[in-house]
């Protein structure tokens, strides 16, 4: 049984007629209304009902609690310390200085006095209590931003290349990201009714039509990016749908290679779940890109598994149906064939730090923000204040990156010295090692309810321990990608890292190695359920061998595979095969 809408009649049933609980909640929600409005007025609790906890994700937020406080509050027989995480929708991660100042004010008035840059090129707030929800949402609206579809079973924030070396190309990438985001935005008035006190539509929910999504939206979350080679900083192969810009001799976008079927999530101990890199499906002209996105989304809407949420992402649809069948259906709905993929090459998936000059003569400063957390540290850097001071004088714009960093973009050459002075004054100019500047972590504890282990709070100290060994081997400045998540859902894309760490339990992680430096190949499980000392001990001899036997220009992960340390992962189910150190090297 699949969702229906007034404009779509050729639905293909999902793999089972037994819908999951989430599907039933969506179907009965009245286009995402549920009882959210009533729940906000319930003062006896800081929480909302279980059904509404699923629906509120579509509005851009999750109900969480401070897990550091759980034991004490349990002893005192108090309710959990509930609060909401709120994520913004910011296609391509672009905002103006005025918007930055407004968002900074919200962080200090209603959240925990931090701004968190996410791996989806946007901001999220933590610690917003229920009684402040509407005021926060209305302040976001006043900044001409919103949170609709930042979470939930819909197309989420669309990422776009931020490479400032190619001003025309990255402007076009951002324009496409925004166009796709707007086109695939849910049409329900529930967001405005609940959070912005908008008037309800006369006649009720029967007047609402979701021409793309239908009453039950998508089977699971859906992620889209626009990449501009040679930089793959948006990790196009980790996404459900990707557009890889193909440039002509003049640097203009001639069209896009279309990728489908990437996704990072899995479940420990369930080999039928796995991360997957996207396949290159074909090529489309720039004017067809939005319609291609609609066709891909609609096929997944109709073919995706609505009975088993662990099997509901597009990656499983393509594994089950085959790429050829999926392409044929996309082309049928598009009304034309896609072209053959065109050559492209990526050279990495990290950011370019420091000052760069764009084609238009303007300057861009990329700042490293460790794990994306902007805050003022007593006695240390004042990152939140520093960025606020910059926003007060900056005349260009800000761009958030998919690696949790920020670009102060479009700076006139004459304004650069003032920006540079503020950066240094507030500790924003961090001199990071090659490993640290390529590190990324999800939030995990204490707020994420899915976290099995620490991530954001632990990765910096692990990196510090690894930096000592790298320096001893002469590798301090070598770029090596390391990523960590507190659970196997993979929000920081650890399975594409050269070194990936995924939480297994308190202080315990699975160690993955061998992901390609450019994000095109997944890693392989190397050591299971290891703690800090074991991680450091496992990596040190690999660093030593890399320093001694690498070939010119060879990346760490490529060396590990060539030297027989770990098997290369092809795709999909192969992720779980041939794991651990290879026998040829295990005896060393």
Active-site residue, from 442, 504, 524, 555: 442
Determine phi and psi for 276, rounding to 5 degrees.
-150, 140
Q: What is the DSSP letter of 35?
A: T
Residue 371 to residue 454: CA distance in whole angstroms: 13
Determine phi and psi for 281, rounding to 5 degrees.
-95, -35
Output the pLDDT for position 3: 39
CA within 13 Å, CB half, 408: 30
Residue 215 to residue 202: CA distance in whole angstroms: 19
Output the pLDDT for position 242: 98
Q: Is 442 a catalytic residue?
A: yes
Residue 238 to residue 522: CA distance in whole angstroms: 9
Active-site residue, from 130, 223, 306, 388: 223
Active-site residue, from 389, 448, 493, 555: 448
Look at the block and give the residue holding tokens 């074909």: 282
Active-site residue, from 26, 33, 57, 87: 87
Output the pLDDT for position 197: 87
Active-site residue, from 130, 373, 487, 524: 487
Residue 423 to residue 405: CA distance in whole angstroms: 14
Q: Is 336 a catalytic residue?
A: no
Q: Is 448 a catalytic residue?
A: yes
Output the pLDDT for position 573: 92
> How buried is 253 (Cβ within 10 angstroms: 0-12 exposed, 13-18 middle, 19+ buried)?
buried
Residue 4 to residue 532: CA distance in whole angstroms: 50
- Helix (H) / strand (E) element for 526: namely strand 524-530
Closest by CA to 225, choosing from 288, 170, 269, is 170
How many CB atoms neighbour CB 368 within 10 A?
A: 20
> How buried is 342 (Cβ within 10 angstroms: 0-12 exposed, 13-18 middle, 19+ buried)?
middle
Q: Is 156 a catalytic residue?
A: yes
Residue 531 to residue 130: CA distance in whole angstroms: 37
Token representation of residue 504: 């297994």
Active-site residue, from 95, 315, 491, 565: 491
Q: What is the DSSP letter of 409?
A: E
- Taking the complete model, does pTM exceed 0.85, yes or no? yes
Output the pLDDT for position 351: 95
Q: Is 491 a catalytic residue?
A: yes
pLDDT by position in tens, the chain (length 588): 333 343 343 343 344 468 999 999 999 999 999 999 999 999 999 999 999 999 999 999 999 999 999 999 999 999 999 999 999 999 999 999 999 999 999 999 999 999 999 999 999 999 999 999 999 999 999 999 999 999 999 999 999 999 777 788 999 999 999 999 999 999 999 999 999 988 665 555 556 789 999 999 999 999 999 999 999 999 999 999 999 999 999 989 999 999 999 999 999 999 999 999 999 999 999 999 999 999 999 999 999 999 999 999 999 999 999 999 999 999 999 999 999 999 999 999 999 999 999 888 999 999 999 999 999 999 999 999 999 999 999 999 999 999 999 999 999 999 999 999 999 999 998 789 999 999 999 999 999 999 999 999 999 999 999 999 999 999 999 999 999 999 999 999 999 999 999 999 999 999 999 999 999 999 999 999 999 999 999 999 999 999 999 999 999 999 999 999 999 999 889 999 999 998 555 445
Active-site residue, from 116, 120, 156, 363: 156
Active-site residue, from 89, 130, 221, 315: 221
Q: Is 87 a catalytic residue?
A: yes
Name residue 95's beta-bridge partners.
398
Q: Three-state SS for 257? A: strand
Quick check: bond before 230 cis, omega within 30?
yes
């Amino acid at each position: 049984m699949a969702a229906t809408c007034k404009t779509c009649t050729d639905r293909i049933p999902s793999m089972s007629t037994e819908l999951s609980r989430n599907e039933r909640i969506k179907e009965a929600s009245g286009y995402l209304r549920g009882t959210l409005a009533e729940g906000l007025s319930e003062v006896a609790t800081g929480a909302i009902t279980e059904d509404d906890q699923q629906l509120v994700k579509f509005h851009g937020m999750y109900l969480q609690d401070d897990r550091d406080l759980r034991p004490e509050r349990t002893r005192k027989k108090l309710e959990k310390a509930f609060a909401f995480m709120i994520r913004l929708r910011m296609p391509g991660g672009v905002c103006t200085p005025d918007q930055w100042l407004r968002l900074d004010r919200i962080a200090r008035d209603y959240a925990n006095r931090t701004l968190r840059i996410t791996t989806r090129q946007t901001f999220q707030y933590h610690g917003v209590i229920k009684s402040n929800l509407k005021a926060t949402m209305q302040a976001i609206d006043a900044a001409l931003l919103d949170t609709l579809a930042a979470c939930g079973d819909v197309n989420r924030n669309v990422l776009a290349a931020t490479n400032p070396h190619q001003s025309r190309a990255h402007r076009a990438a951002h324009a496409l990201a925004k166009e796709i985001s707007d086109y695939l935005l849910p049409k329900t008035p529930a967001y405005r009714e609940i959070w912005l006190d908008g008037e309800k539509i006369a006649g009720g929910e029967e007047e609402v039509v979701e021409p793309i999504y239908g009453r039950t939206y998508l089977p699971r979350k859906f992620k889209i990016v626009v990449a501009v080679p040679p930089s793959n900083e948006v990790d196009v192969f980790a996404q459900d749908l990707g557009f890889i810009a193909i440039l002509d001799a003049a640097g203009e976008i001639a069209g896009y290679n279309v990728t489908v079927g990437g996704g990072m999530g899995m479940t420990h101990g369930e080999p039928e779940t796995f991360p997957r890199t996207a396949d290159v499906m074909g090529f489309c002209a720039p004017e067809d890109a939005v319609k291609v996105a609609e066709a891909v989304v609609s096929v997944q809407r109709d073919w995706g598994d609505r009975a088993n949420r662990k099997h509901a992402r597009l990656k499983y649809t393509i594994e089950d149906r085959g790429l050829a069948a999926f392409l044929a259906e996309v082309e049928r709905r598009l009304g034309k064939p896609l072209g053959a993929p065109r050559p492209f090459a990526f050279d990495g998936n990290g950011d370019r730090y420091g000052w760069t000059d764009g084609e238009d003569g303007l300057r861009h400063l990329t700042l490293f923000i460790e794990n994306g957390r902007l805050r003022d540290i007593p006695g240390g850097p004042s990152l939140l204040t520093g960025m606020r001071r910059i926003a007060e004088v900056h005349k260009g714009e800000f761009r958030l990156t998919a690696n949790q960093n920020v670009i102060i973009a479009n700076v006139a050459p004459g304004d650069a010295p003032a920006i540079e002075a503020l950066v240094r004054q507030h500790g924003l100019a961090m001199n990071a090692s090659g490993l640290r500047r390529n590190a990324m972590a999800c939030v995990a504890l204490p707020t994420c309810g899915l976290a099995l282990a620490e991530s954001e709070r632990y990765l910096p100290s692990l990196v510090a321990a690894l930096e000592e060994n790298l320096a001893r081997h002469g590798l301090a400045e070598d770029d090596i990608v390391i990523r960590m998540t507190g659970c196997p859902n993979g929000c920081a894309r650890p399975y594409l890292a050269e070194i990936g760490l995924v939480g297994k339990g308190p202080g315990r992680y699975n160690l993955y190695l061998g992901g390609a430096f450019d994000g095109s190949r997944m890693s392989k499980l190397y050591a299971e359920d290891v703690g800090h000392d074991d991680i450091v001990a496992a990596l040190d001899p690999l660093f030593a061998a890399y320093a001694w036997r690498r070939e010119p220009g060879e990346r760490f992960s490529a060396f590990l595979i060539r030297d027989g340390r770990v098997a290369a992962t092809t795709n999909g189910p192969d992720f779980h095969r041939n794991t651990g150190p290879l026998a040829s090297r295990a005896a060393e």
